[in-house]
Amino acid sequence: MAEIRVNPTRMEMKRYQARYQTARRGHKLLKDKRDELMRLFLDVVREDRVLRERVEAALADVYAGFSVAGAVSSPQMLGEALICPKTEGELSVGFRNLMSVNVPVFNLQIHTDGNTEHYNYGLAFTSGELDVAVAALNGILTDLLRMAELEKTAQLLAEEIERTRRRVNALEYILMPQYLEIIRTIRMRLEENERGNTTRLMKVKDMMLAAQLRQPDDADEDDPPS
Amino acid sequence: MYKIGIIGNRDAVQGFMALGFAVHEAGDAEQAARELHAMVRSGEFAVIYLIERYAAQLEEELARYRSLPVPAIVSLPGQEGATGYGMNSLRRAVERAVGADILFQDLPEERKG
């Protein structure tokens, strides 16, 4: 650890003791924050995982439907059939504060013209597989959005957790030991000074005693002090 | 109001037109990257889906946008089926946050489609 030069005074020691207390409180708070973030994060990831498995399975069916539809009708016809969506979705984004991490919340409002069917094309020239695929795709729309929300949340939380963990570790393994070391050094120096002082006093006292002993009787001058 | 976009090869993404997504076709990863940057820069998109095949090649680009609250860039499997890329990126997020993979031990390390 790098040596830090401080004045070995009581003032300085008090200051570092206060700093140490603050660091300890901060460390405890950050650790709590990290634990809570972790809990949230794991919940999000678990939900996302289930969702992703479902979406991936559903998408496989959707693609299968589209490729069959593509096989039985011409690509142009398929493109034409799909090109203008009937449902017009309006996506609004709100933000939610999770442990001071702002995560997006997606809200999709779908406007349809009263007709619940999703198909935006005439049924005459397209195959039934296409209808099924489009319907299936519509079915996973909310899952898709929820998945986007969760994955973004997971990413943001992961970043925050990493940052918080670094802070916790910096406090725990660098800053707090450093303060303790400084406090210890100052205390040692103060004690050492105190001892130096005491011995000096004792020495002076001895010298004074010797001088006093010498005063009344000058004959004993050569005697060493007791 | 935000839009939802999807980037991928034609066959994979054209179906999403029916949902009203903004479909951007890309023949290769480079083109996908260009589309992605343009979409993010426009600020109109809250969600951008990216077909896994390209997402796997655009790690660096995706990392750049990871800390932005929007857009959410999410990989979706293409027609070749799930390559496990999506799950793996989730696993990596867990590893990054927790320091160890504690949720996905039951999955094989790298699932290749």
pLDDT digits (tens, 9 = 90+) for A27-57: 999 999 999 999 999 999 999 999 999 998 8
Residue A101 confidence (pLDDT) = 87
Residue B111 confidence (pLDDT) = 47
Structural contact between residues A182 and A8, judged by C-beta atoms closer than 8 angstroms: no
- Torsion (CA) A12, A17, A22, A23 in degrees, nearest 10: 100
Grade residue A87 by pLDDT with cuts at 50, 70 and 90.
low
DSSP run (H or E) holding A97: strand A88-98
Could you tell me the residue ranges of all domains in chain A? 10-176
* CATH number of the domain within which B64 lies: 3.40.50.10580
Q: How far is A116 from A88, CA to CA, in rounded Å?
A: 13
When divided into structural domains, chain B yields a total of: 2
Please give the residue range of the domain that contains residue B58.
3-80
ipTM over 0.90: no
Q: Are residues B29 and B73 in the same domain?
A: yes
Burial of A101 by CB count in 10 Å (0-12 exposed, 13-18 middle, 19+ buried)?
A: buried
Residue ranges of A 47-66 with Cβ closer than 8 A to chain B = 48-49, 52, 55-56, 59-60, 62-63, 66
Structure tokens at B86: 């999506």
Q: Are residues B24 and B67 in the same domain?
A: yes
Q: Are residues B67 and B103 in the same domain?
A: no
Instruction: Using an 8 Å CB-CB cutoff, list residues of chain B that contact chain A.
Output: 1-4, 11-12, 14-20, 46-47, 49, 66-67, 69-70, 72, 74, 76-79, 81-82, 86-87, 90, 93-94, 96-99, 102-104
Task: Tell me the fold of A10-176.
Answer: Helix Hairpins (1.10.287)
Q: Is A141 on the interface with B (CB under 8 A)?
A: yes
Of chain B, the end-to-end C-alpha distance in Å amounts to 36
Lowest mean pLDDT among A40-54, A55-69, A106-120, B6-20: A106-120
Q: Are residues B90 and B76 in the same domain?
A: no
Q: Are residues B88 and B45 in the same domain?
A: no
Grade residue B63 by pLDDT with cuts at 50, 70 and 90.
confident
Q: Are residues B75 and B91 in the same domain?
A: no
Does residue A123 register a pLDDT over 80? no
Grade residue A207 by pLDDT with cuts at 50, 70 and 90.
very high
Q: Are residues B72 and B26 in the same domain?
A: yes
- Indicate if the alpha-carbon torsion angle A117, A120, A125, A131 is positive or negative: negative
Looking at beta carbons, which residues of chain B come within 8 Å of A117? none
